[in-house]
Amino acid sequence: MEKFFKLKENGTKVSTEFIAGLTTFFAMSYIIFVNPSMLAQTGMPWNAVFIATIIATVIGTLVMGLFANVPYAQAPGMGLNAFFTFTVVFAFGFSWQQALAMVFLCGIINIIITVTKLRKVIIKSIPESLQHAIGGGIGIFIAYIGIKSAGLLNFTSDPGKNIVLDGGTVIADSSAVPALVDFNQASVLLAVIGIVLTIILLVTKVKGAILIGIVGTTILGVLYVAVTGNPIGNNLTKEALAGLSNVNIVGSMKTAFSDLGTTFGAAFGEEGMQSLFSDPTKIPLVLMTIFAFSITDTFDTIGTFIGTGRKSGIFTADDEAAMQSSSGFKSKMDRALFADSIATSIGAIFGTSNTTTYVESAAGIGAGGRTGLTSVFTALLFILCIPFSAYIGIVPAEATAAALIAVGIMMLSAFKEINWSDFEEAVPAFFAGIFMALVYSISYGIAAGFIFYCIVKIFKGKAKEIHPVLAVSTLLFILNFVLLAIKDKL
């Protein structure tokens, strides 16, 4: 194990990697319940998506750990599953089988651009100031996810300024104003206790602080529910606790795997790939959708690697240099990009939306994870979710929120490398760093940074400083926005 993962070389040990893997698992385990709930709205069986989500997560994360030897976990992406459900199926009118077919093709495209080194060239084309902005921006994004998970915010929109979709999802316009909730709910108070506990453990440098914070907050929540009978969030309820003693592990597994037959390979059937290009009038929309899937997935991953890998030392300057000069998969970055690229197609085969590298991996990195052993432990824990999902499911979002907030704070130090007094550098850095949290998308934040970088350079008479790949990427982002804006007319 020492020789394979190079633990001493990376300044870590098995116990540290286990704690990091456990921390990453708890920070992102919500996806095995949220993803099925999201995709089930399209008509996909909940149990099938549940198993497909775990399988895609396990395979992608194991490849990341064993092949790339980096502490990143993969799972179906949250923004991408929403795009799959509400845009591709509901708005565009494709079947869920056709949507899976497009996700599979997106994965193939990602494999091609990785093997042909296009992803590496994209990374090389991003100016250093923008890379630091992306790193800090991901910190804000992670912290914002934590604040939302803690339930500390509510949003008020003007009357008549929202749309209610099928399934009850509400889309409000920019009149929606965030505000701090009143501290009169048990779930909010539990989240605040968890945040305070985690911060105290971190500042006093207690080993395993983040994991202790998650476990300690969960125990407090369980005790509260057991004594009062009142729920914490949607999953930690009196009924859920009572049901733990009556869980039929074998029966629930049989049902889930039986339903998996509905989604496994559906991307290639008559209702999937075989009908995807049958209507010539829809081909432009099909191509646009595949492109949107691909560009979002690609830049989500690149942003995560740049934002978390550089600060932690997982991807060193030497490794980045090796990536740019070597052929094949000799550097860790090469192997990590390839591991990420194959996960999406695997997930589509089993029946889930785009699988991507999870920004919540930063929680495990913050807990000391430095090698692929962290990913292996995370993957093994996800396997345990299949028979023990009921037990894992009681960990409330309020318990993991503090971990995300703490890691987000740690990542903000990347902003100090930016010359904020130079407006020419500050403008694209602002949009790349701050915008991704405001629009809840890493890739769109990167897009905004690219666009304003090009605008600034062109009007400063420095267009020659724009790397050709960055210029092309910017034009593709703009095309993506244009196509999404006119989608109803295609």
CA 421 to chain centre: 32
In this structure, is residue 304 part of a structural domain?
yes
Highest mean pLDDT among 57-66, 156-165, 284-293, 440-449 belongs to: 57-66
Residue 1 inside a domain? The answer is no
Q: Domain range for residue 301?
A: 9-489
Phi, psi torsion values for 369, nearest 5 degrees: -65, 130
Task: Report how many domains make up the chain.
Answer: 1
**283 in any annotated domain:** yes
Tens digits of residue pLDDT in 447-487: 899 999 999 999 999 999 999 989 988 998 898 788 777 76
Q: Look at residues 169, 104, 124 and name the one whose alpha carbon lies nearest to residue 331.
A: 124
The predicted model gives 366-387 an average pLDDT of 92
pLDDT of residue 482: 83
CB-based contact 102:289 (threshold 8 Å): yes
Domain assignment of residue 334, yes or no: yes
Quick one: which of 148, 170, 146 has its CA closest to 159?
Answer: 170
pLDDT tens profile 306-345: 777 766 678 766 666 666 666 667 778 788 888 888 999 9
Report the alpha-carbon distance of residue 60 to residue 55 in Å, rounded.
8
3, part of any domain: no
Confirm whether 331 is domain-assigned: yes
341 near 118, Cβ under 8 Å?
Answer: no
SS3 label, residue 153: strand
**Tokens at residue 406, please?**
């703490």
DSSP secondary structure string for all residues of 112-131? HHHHTTHHHHHHHHS-HHHH
Q: pLDDT value at position 312?
A: 67
The rounded percent of the chain whose pLDDT value lies above 70 is 93
Is there a domain that residue 200 lies in?
yes
**Chain segment 147-169, per-residue pLDDT in tens:** 988 999 998 888 877 777 666 67
Residue 480 lies in a domain: yes
